[in-house]
Amino acid sequence: MMFIVYLTVVALIGIGLYAIIFKRNLIKIVIGVSLVECAANLFLVSLGYKEGGVAPIFTMAPHENMVLPTPQALTLTSIVIGVAVTALMLSFAMNYYKSYGTLDATKGRLKG
């Protein structure tokens, strides 16, 4: 079962990197970065998975059946950071479009 999750992570990273490296449209590049971020979040969540595990809260469950809370906390932090980074990249894309009239990353020119 976990093999499918790790295969999905590799596929998402591959698709995201393809979009980042080979696409010229800035929106497609932003989508590629978001796919890589989702793959990282899925990987973090899968690291914290434990068969038959229970949430790490105050219960009478045995200690060895608890899942690790660290990957969950890291994933929540990563989601918040990812939303901020995506908003920043989209605002850069909007400014690029206002300046050059296109979202093609190769059509802009360097000023200097």
Domains and CATH numbers, the chain: 2-49+67-99 (1.10.287)
Q: Is the pLDDT of residue 112 over 60?
A: no
Gap between the Cα atoms of 99 and 64, Å rounded: 58
Cβ(26)–Cβ(93) under 8 Å?
Answer: yes
The neighbour count for residue 7, using CB atoms within 10 Å, is: 10
Amino acid in position 15: I
pTM of the model as a whole:
0.84
- pLDDT greater at residue 74 or residue 13: 13
Residues 15-62: tens digit of each pLDDT: 999 999 999 999 999 999 999 999 999 999 888 877 777 777 766 766
